[in-house]
Amino acid sequence: MLKTLKVRFSQGKQFVPDVTKADPKGFRGLPKIGPRACEAQCQKCAEVCPTHAINVKSMEIDLGRCIFCEECSRVCPVDKITYSNQYKMAASSRESLSVSAAAGQPVIEVSRRLKSIFGRSLRLRSVSTGGCNGCELELAAIANVNFDVSRFGFEFVASPRHADGLVITGPLTVNMREALELAYDGMPDPKFVIAVGACAISGGLYADSHALDRSFLNRFAPELYIPGCPPHPLTIANGLLDLLGRKG
């Protein structure tokens, strides 16, 4: 008993008190595109980007593809691309995941509809379809003692029957097509889809693979996109909070 108490005591307070205002030291998060002019004709960043996330003409980075690998910033001769430890990067539309010098931050519009239904309690069913266990572990982490999202009423459930939101990770493999459909069909209305990680949002590094079938997402467009490879738990938690217009 004493030992148990000792462990409990050593544990202290572990939760991040305010997930909207944390400071993840060292985290390579939201890329910033600076105002400096690129060198004439330079395409280096786009050439090395493994996910074709950069549009050099408009100088935009698509966070739906970006894996935050920093290859681009390493070849840039003028330091146009740098990273901040900003973790709020989720978006409610695919387009607004593109960041540029002018539009530096993806936007989430509070969904009035989802807020009125799920504002106080949201049950999530996660389906990994080709994920590498990065996104899966970070999703699981939002429920651990540090991030502890159950304080906001967010919870993962075992059965699709109990779920409101379907959280998809991985690039959507052919071999998971049927199981994914079944899980979604098994969820009662009202329901919605959340795409977590570059693979789910755009195919990421696997976008050109012959082993994917992403048609599910054409039929059921996500209401929330959470970028990263894998996304930080803070990115996920804040995405959910912001979508539902919650203060945290």
**Rule CB under 6 A: which residues touch ligand SF4?**
48-51, 53-54, 61, 66-72
Q: Which is nearer to another protein, 115 or 177 (CB)?
A: 177
Sign of CA dihedral 114, 163, 206, 79: positive
Q: Which is nearer to ligand SF4, 38 or 157 (CB)?
A: 38
Task: Pick one of another protein, ligand SF4, none as the site partner of residue 24 (Cβ within 5 to 8 A by kind).
Answer: another protein
- Minimum Å gap between C-beta 226 and another protein is 14
Q: Which is nearer to another protein, 22 or 96 (CB)?
A: 22
- Where does this chain bind another protein (CB under 8 A)? 3-4, 6-8, 10-11, 14, 24-28, 48, 50, 67-71, 74, 83, 126-141, 143-146, 156, 158, 170-171, 173-179, 183, 205-206, 208-213, 229-230, 232
> For residues 239 and 248, what is the distance between their CA atoms, to the nearest angstrom?
11
- Minimum Å gap between C-beta 68 and ligand SF4 is 5
- CA-based nearest residue to 200, from 153, 246, 241, 239: 239
- Minimum Å gap between C-beta 24 and another protein is 7
Task: Pick one of another protein, ligand SF4, none as the site partner of residue 53 (Cβ within 5 to 8 A by kind).
Answer: ligand SF4
Q: Which is nearer to another protein, 4 or 218 (CB)?
A: 4
3-class DSSP state of 44: helix
- Minimum Å gap between C-beta 3 and ligand SF4 is 46
- Minimum Å gap between C-beta 176 and another protein is 5
- Minimum Å gap between C-beta 32 and ligand SF4 is 12
> For residues 217 and 193, what is the distance between their CA atoms, to the nearest angstrom?
9
> For residues 31 and 129, what is the distance between their CA atoms, to the nearest angstrom?
27
80, exposed or middle or buried, with CB in 10 Å at 0-12, 13-18, 19+? Answer: buried
- CA-based nearest residue to 76, from 105, 119, 46, 109: 46
The phi, psi pair for 196, rounded to 5°, reads -115, 120
- Minimum Å gap between C-beta 181 and another protein is 11
Task: Pick one of another protein, ligand SF4, none as the site partner of residue 11 (Cβ within 5 to 8 A by kind).
Answer: another protein
Q: Which is nearer to ligand SF4, 61 or 240 (CB)?
A: 61
**Side chain identity at residue 79, one-letter code:** D
Q: Which is nearer to another protein, 181 or 223 (CB)?
A: 181
| 184 membership: H or E segment, kind and range | helix 177-185
Other C-beta atoms within 10 Å of 223: how many?
A: 17
The residue behind tokens 């945290």 is 248
Q: Which is nearer to another protein, 96 or 187 (CB)?
A: 187
Q: What is the dihedral of CA 171, 177, 179, 183, to 10 degrees?
A: 70
